[in-house]
Chains A and B, each alone.
Chain A
Amino acid sequence: MDTILSPAPFLTHVNSLFAEIETWLRTAGLKILKTDIEINEEDYGSYHAPKITVLSPAGTELAEITPVGASILGANGRVDMQGFADKIILLDMAAGGPSRNNSASAGKSEATTRPLFRGIDSAGWYWVENRISNKAHKLNSELFFDLLAEVADYAPQQ
Chain B
Amino acid sequence: MLPNNEVDSAWQAYQITLDCLKIASHAVFKNDMALLNKTSFFGSPHQTAHNQIEASRRDADDYVILAMWAAFERTLLGAVQAESQRMLAGTPGDLAIAVHGKMAHEIEYWRIDDVLNLFKVIIDPHLIGQTKQVKQYRDWVAHRNLKKGSPQMVLPQTAYRILAEMLRQLPA
Contacts and interface: CB of A to CB of B under 8 A. Distances in A.
Interface of A: 40-46, 68-69, 71-74, 78, 82, 84-87, 89, 91, 98, 100-106, 111, 116-117, 128, 130-132, 134, 153
B149 A40 contact: yes
Contact of B162 (A41, A101, A116): A116
Interface in B135-152: 137, 146, 148-152
A101 B133 CA distance: 16
Given A86-B22, A100-B127, A116-B162, A41 B149 contact: yes
Given A117-B161, A128-B157, 12 more contacts: A40-B150, A41-B149, A42-B149, A43-B151, A43-B152, A71-B152, A73-B137, A73-B152, A102-B124, A104-B123, A105-B121, A128-B155
Contacts of B157: 128, 130, 134
Interface of B: 1, 15, 18, 22, 25-26, 28-29, 50, 54, 57, 120-127, 130, 133-134, 137, 146, 148-158, 161-162, 165, 169
B72 to A, nearest CB: 15
B125 A42 contact: no
Task: Give the secondary structure class of A's interface.
Answer: loop
Nearest to B61: A87
27 contacts: A40-B146, A40-B150, A43-B152, A68-B153, A71-B152, A71-B153, A73-B134, A73-B137, A73-B153, A74-B155, A78-B155, A85-B25, A87-B54, A100-B126, A100-B162, A100-B165, A101-B127, A105-B120, A105-B121, A105-B123, A106-B124, A106-B125, A130-B18, A130-B157, A134-B161, A153-B26, A153-B29
